Amino acid sequence: MPFEFVITTGSPDPIYKQVMDQIKLGIAQGTLEVGGQLPPVRKLSKDLRVNVNTIAKAYNELAKEGIIVSTPGRGAFVAEPKQIYSEVERKHRLNQAIDKLIRETITLNFSKEEIEEALSKRWEQAHKPQEKKL
């Protein structure tokens, strides 16, 4: 069964970002393995019914981050994991993500305890090995 992408129209996240996030999660969960080939840009854009440039942008951004490797004529593959960010940059990115989470959850009137519980559950789900799909 192939790795499945799900696009949410009307999401505050642009489609290319949704694709990027799903690929990153698939790698973290082990459903996308190092060296595994991603769907070709044109095929994925057709399957998701989005512009080919949207998928190309997602793949280009992932390649810039060192998450995938694109080879003209061969396709895009999950790259060997490596740390490309300094410790300062990693912490900066973590704080940005936390700030966004806090803003959103405060707006939705969640308590600190509810946020901690939900975060803990999602952390476990994201790091639980999943069935290989690609």
Could you tell me the CATH number of the domain that includes residue 101?
1.10.10.10
Please identify every stretch of the chain with a pLDDT value under 50, giving residue numbers as ranges: 1, 131-134
pLDDT of residue 61: 96
> Domain tally for the chain?
1
pLDDT tens digits for range 5-44? 888 988 889 999 999 999 998 888 888 999 999 999 999 9
Q: Determine if the pTM surpasses 0.85.
A: no
Q: Is 5 left (phi over 0), alpha (psi -120 to 50) or beta?
A: beta
CA distance 96 to 52: 29
| Domain coverage including residue 97 | 1-134
How far lies 68's CA from each of 1, 23, 54, 91, in Å? 21, 9, 16, 22
pLDDT at residue 2 in the model:
62
Q: Whole-angstrom Cα distance, residue 71 to residue 114?
A: 44
